[in-house]
Amino acid sequence: MPARKSTRSTAHPWRAWKGPADELDPSRHPETTLKQIPGNGSKSESSPPWNFTPRPYQRGVFDAQARGVLRQFHVWHRRAGKDRCGLALASVAACNQVANYWHLFPKQTQARRAIWNGISRDGRRFIDDAFPAEHRAKTRDGEMMLELKNGSTWQMAGSDNYDSLVGSNVRGIVFSEFALCDPAAWPYFQPILRENGGWAIFITTFRGKNHAWRMFNEVRELEDWHTSILTVDDTSDGNGRRIITADDINKDRREGMSEATIREEYFCEPQEFAHGSYYARVMNWLAAEGRLSAVGYEPGLPLYAAWHVSEGAVAVILVQVRGTEARIIASRSWRNIAIADALEELRETVPFARHIRKCITKSNVTAFELAGYLVDSSPKHKLPDAVELVRQFLPTVRIDTDPRPFAPGGNNRELLDSLQSYGQARRANELEAMPNWEEFLADAIHTWAAYREDAADSWGAAPNYRAADRAVI
């Protein structure tokens, strides 16, 4: 799918540049234009991308980079070769311009398993194909970093640990599986790339209508972005053979893959709430019942703040209760912040937050008491029990999603992304010490669900939302 040109003149929140249009001119940053366009006859054995010949549908990525396009977003079906294409793109850039380059996965452990230690079907390591040993000066296994002989570096990392990476003057970033990445990472890196004329490419398969789906639909209208959606019907190798055939899909179907998974993984059709999430079924039911809608602050009802507090993150949901219905009217999360600072920022940004009646927390009671709040404790549960408790609680919830002065893009967006993503990547990352980004607000939900006061005991039985379930494997 070719890049779509924008006819809008207003600045967009995802836009990478804020200056005049000529700032987008590649002649302003001539060193960023790639000298090699693989697959068009210019490639030699001594030039990158080494050991990689792009398939026909992949050449547009290199063509766009060679034209000076500095932002790309590609949604390709599963097994379309997204990461190998990203590796090859970085190898060309690192050879042509001495700089630092990153390939970011959602989590550090995913990066090591999928790419750093990954082996292709012909038995070769992915990194050896992209960066052959004879072109490397040093390989740092512990840091997953390669130093090339020309002085460039290429490194793999987890986007969840973005705040520790910000100090580096990176010149090019590949965001792999962006639908599972922490959406707060990209705004941290934008100023770096804007200042040095660097590039970024996002490669992913949709995982529900979350931040990646919204961002793609926003930037695809911008003339300075190159974007595409490719399903299994759009991809073939150099000999015209389909990458994934109808027979392949039928085999997956016979072996138990759901139609929802097939439509999302192979045909890039995202479900409202993604398969694989702990809460996909109930969140689909909430959407079908209109419970993700307008529900504002009601001054006559008490306002509670339920918290997640951990060493690296603080998150809160603001809740009011009417009868058996819990109303989540605002939410926030922060990284590496003191509780007192989080409380101050909450009061400054959400007008009614100054009326919080009680803070509910599972830890750090003293910090809230010192800030002058009435505090109550909520019990802790092991993960399976916590998930089941939240599942039983969510059908009683209404979540405000209307634009508000403190959330002009739509209220509780990050909370919805957290609930729909929670569980998708967690199972694969149990060895990772750093929590997933979506756990913070989801845990704040658990804090409230585990709390008992007034009407909390009368939630009632969960309704039958099986009819709305189209997203569970």
Q: Can you give the pLDDT of all 473 residues of the chain as single tens digits? A: 444 433 333 333 333 333 333 333 433 333 444 445 555 444 445 567 888 899 999 999 999 999 999 999 999 999 999 999 999 999 999 999 999 999 999 888 888 888 999 998 888 899 999 999 999 999 999 999 999 999 999 999 988 777 777 667 899 999 999 998 888 889 889 999 999 999 999 999 998 888 999 999 999 999 999 999 999 999 999 899 999 999 999 999 999 998 888 999 999 998 776 666 788 888 888 999 999 999 999 999 999 999 999 888 999 999 999 998 999 999 999 988 999 999 999 999 999 999 999 999 998 899 999 999 999 999 989 888 999 999 999 999 999 999 999 999 899 999 998 888 787 544 444 434 446 788 899 999 999 999 975 444 444 444 454 544 444 43
Q: Cα separations (Å) of 228 from 62, 216, 234? A: 13, 9, 11
Strand order in the sheet with 225-230: 136-140, 145-148, 153-158, 100-105, 170-176, 199-204, 71-76, 225-230
Tokens 């009680």 -> residue: 358
Q: How far apart are the C-alpha atoms of 444 and 450, rounded to whole Å? A: 10
- Measured CA distances, 34 to 37, 54, 90 (Å): 7, 15, 10
Domains of the chain: 21-267 (3.40.50.300), 280-468 (3.30.420)
CA distance 90 to 86: 6
Looking at residue 454, its pLDDT comes to 46
Number of other residues whose CB lies within 10 A of the CB of residue 75: 25
Answer yes or no: are the C-beta atoms of 373 and 358 closer than 8 Å. Answer: yes
* Contact assessment for residue 326 and residue 319, using Cβ atoms and an 8 Å cutoff: yes
The model's pLDDT over 94-132, given as tens digits with 9 standing for 90+, comes to: 999 999 999 999 888 888 888 999 998 888 899 999 999
- CB neighbours of residue 70 within 10 Å: 23
Q: Who's near 239: CB < 8 A, 6+ residues apart?
A: none
Q: Decide: 147 and 140 in contact? Cβ < 8 Å.
A: yes
Model pLDDT, residue 8: 33
In terms of DSSP bridges, do strands 136-140 and 397-400 run parallel, antiparallel, or are they unpaired?
Answer: unpaired
What per-residue confidence (pLDDT) applies to 5? 39
Between CA 395 and CA 460 the distance in angstroms is: 10
Scored b (16 or more CB within 10 A) or e, 290-326 reads: ebbeebebeeeeebbbbbbbeeebbbbbbbbbeeeeb
State pTM to two decimals: 0.74
Would you state the pLDDT for residue 30?
39
- The pairing of beta strand 225-230 with beta strand 71-76: parallel
Residue 431 is predicted with a pLDDT of 38
